[in-house]
Chains A and B, each alone.
Chain A
């Protein structure tokens, strides 16, 4: 256990569905991240939040909508996804976004399949 939980662990959805992924960290961290991991591709950073403020949107399509209501919770709202969005979505947290050391703690991921 890394102190970062993600729900659901598996999700199958149609292209017209709306669903949300949830991430919670119990580490007292102030920065949270969403990553996408597709087969045979490097881990892709999607969004970064620091003290609830979004500091990075890595050119992610608008069908992915993040929400960070507080430093412990992070959501990824999904709507009208495409089959190529099928991937493992990983949440991570760190003490804060800052220069220097930035060890990140990852959740177990949500395996998303878009039909």
Chain B
């Protein structure tokens, strides 16, 4: 499969804890992107990391990319109940994004 594959499929944590989601892929990429989707809604772009970058931060989000292992991780620090959503990684190659099945994150108040 050329898709980005997220791990775990589901994650349940308490408010204030950190959440880490992982993504693996099989083919070369130009960039790797993370998106968030609230139940039954459209996807919202969170962060993009280019293939020549190793780490990127945006607010409470931290993304790492290891191209030798073909993997990426998304860390959400100090989680909030409002962070409850599905999180998808998408492999950016040429003009296409290829999505994985996502990680369902539940943050309990």
How many A-B residue pairs have C-beta atoms within 8 angstroms? Tell me.
Answer: 65
Q: Which of B20-57 contact A (CB under 8 A)?
A: 30-31, 33, 35, 40-45, 48, 50
Identity of the chain B residue whose Cβ is nearest the Cβ of A55 in the assembled complex = B95
Provide the bound-state CA to CA distance between A109 and B30, in Å.
Answer: 27
B3 neighbours in A (Cβ, 8 Å): 42
Q: List, in ascending order, chain A residues with CB within 8 A of B99's CB.
A: 42-43
A106 to B42, CA, bound (A): 6
CB of B60 within 8 Å of the partner chain: no
Q: Does B42 lie within 8 Å of A2, measured CB to CB?
A: yes
Is the CB of B96 closer than 8 A to any CB of chain A? yes
Binary per-residue interface labels of chain A (66-100) against chain B in the complex, 1 for a CB within 8 Å, 0 otherwise: 00000000000000000000001010100001111
Contact among A42, A92, A102 with B92 in the assembled complex (CB-CB below 8 Å): A102
| Closest partner residue, chain B, to A45 (CB atom) | B96
Count A-side interface residues using an 8 Å CB cutoff. Answer: 30
Given contacts A2-B44, A88-B40, A90-B42, contact A43 B95 (CB under 8 A): no
Whether A108 contacts B95 by the Cβ 8 Å rule is no
1/0 contact string of B56-76 vs chain A (CB within 8 Å): 000000000000000000000
Q: Which residues of A contact B (CB under 8 A)?
A: 2, 4, 6, 31, 40-43, 45, 48, 50, 55-56, 88, 90, 92, 97-109, 111
